[in-house]
Amino acid sequence: MARTTRESKLKPGDQAPHFVTTLDDGSELNSKDLVGTRTILFFYPKDDTPTCTKEACNIRDNYDVLRDHGFAVYGVSGDTPRKHQNFIKKYRLNFPLISDKDHVIARQFDIYGPKQFMGRTFDGIHRTTFVIGKDWKVEHIIHPVVSSDHAAQILEVAG
């Protein structure tokens, strides 16, 4: 299974893109409201797939530790709020999920593009995590992501 990897053109120290989006509960999130809080945006391809589930559950299991380090945590995928609600309920996720169904945010963060899976090429979200500082500047970019130990990856670079 060859996969095309894509690293964002954003670099640590760059201003992170601002966005307005919909959360899993249907409410609106304006990233400007997150200024003043260290924020983790972890982008993943699709709810309820094996690797994405492993990543989300690892974040779930370590969510309190991440919060204790001062992070607000958001998962981002192209799924609808309704699919997000089902994913949250099924796996008892304890953090909000952002619905980026038109891939606007993924494009802003430059992690949407060609991928290969099982011999097929298509456009999609490349699994990448951004740690954003209180000043809304990129502190760290994690790529590639180790889904089964992702919280430790985050804490290692940003803790």
| Residues labelled as active-site residues | 52
DSSP 8-state symbol, 17: P
Count of CB atoms situated within 10 Å of the CB of 112: 21
The C-alpha atoms of residue 94 and residue 102 are separated, in whole angstroms, by 24
**Sequence-ordered strand ranges (E) for 78-154:** 97-99, 112-117, 120-125, 128-132, 138-142
- What are the beta bridge partners of residue 73? 40
Q: Can you tell me which residue has the tokens 């779930």? A: 60
Asked whether 135 and 15 are in contact (CB, 8 A), the reply is no
